[in-house]
Amino acid sequence: MGRAFVDGCDDTDGSSSTLGCSTPDDEVETPHEDIGLRVTQGARRWELGREDAGTADNNQLGHVSWTVTIPDDLNPGRATLEADNSDPLRIVVR
């Protein structure tokens, strides 16, 4: 599961000194669509699926989860999991 898959900023009123996006006016946040998830191990990469981020209507704005099938030829050991527009996450496949 991932969060913050949105375009736009509605975190603060522009006067905050904390982390996050800060704009002087409320900006509409739009959830990302068709977000790809992949796993990389060594020189190999597998596409695991694509999903749309949730909306404010379902109280899941920017949240996304994927249901995937782990590739048969993914070996136990270290790998990297990455979604579009996100930082990579190092994982251990067991």
Could you tell me which residues are beta bridge partners of residue 22? Answer: 12
pLDDT given for residue 67 in this prediction: 96
Task: Write the DSSP assignment of the chain as a string of letters.
Answer: -B---EES--SB-S---SSS-B-SS----EE--SEEEEEEETTEEEEEEEEPPP-GGGT-TT-B-------TTPPSEEEEEEETTS--EEEEE-
Angle in degrees, CA 23, 36, 51, rounded to 5: 80
Report whether pLDDT(11) > 60.
no
Give the residue extent of every domain in the chain: 24-93
Report whether pLDDT(12) > 90.
no
pLDDT tens for residues 64-81? 999 999 999 999 999 999
The residue-averaged pLDDT of 8-19 equals: 54
Mean residue pLDDT across the chain: 87
